[in-house]
Amino acid sequence: MRNACGRTTIGVCVKNSEKTIEESIKSILKQKFPVELMQIIIVDGCSTDRTMSIVKNITSDTNFLVEIFSDKGKGLGAARQIVVDNAKGDYIIFVDGDVELPGDFVKKQIDYMEKYPKVAVAVGTYMFREGSESLISAVSCLFNFLSNPHAGTDATICRVEALKQVNGFDENIIGASEDKDLIFRIQKKGWLLSANEEALFYHNCRENFRGFWKEQAWFGFGNHYLYHKHRNLGRLWRELPLGSFRYGFKLAKKGYDLTNRKISFLIPLLLVTGKIAWWIGFFKAHLIGYGHKKVG
Domain limits of the chain?
A: 7-207, 209-289
Give dist(CA 186, CA 120) in Å, integer: 7
Q: Give yes or no for a contact between 88 and 69, defined as CB atoms under 8 angstroms apart.
A: no
The pLDDT, as a whole number, for residue 150 is 65
- With pLDDT > 90 as the criterion, what percentage of the chain qualifies? 74
**What would the pLDDT profile of 61-86 be if each residue is shown by its tens digit?**
898 999 999 999 999 999 999 999 99
Say yes or no: domain 7-207 is CATH 3.90.550.10.
yes
Average pLDDT, the chain: 90
Count the Cβ atoms, other than its own, within 10 Å of residue 214.
Answer: 14
pLDDT in tens, 44-54: 999 999 999 99
pLDDT (0 to 100) of residue 162:
97
The mean pLDDT value for 174-179 works out to: 90
Instruction: pLDDT band for 89, please (50, 70, 90 cuts).
Output: confident
Q: Does the CA dihedral 30-35-41-42 come out positive or negative?
A: positive
pLDDT at 5: 43
pLDDT of res. 151: 67
User: So what's the pLDDT on residue 237?
Assistant: 67
Greatest alpha-carbon span in the chain: 51
Contact 108, 196 (CB under 8 A): yes
Length of the chain in terms of residues written:
296
pLDDT at site 241: 85
Give residue 4's pLDDT band: very low, low, confident or very high (50, 70, 90).
very low
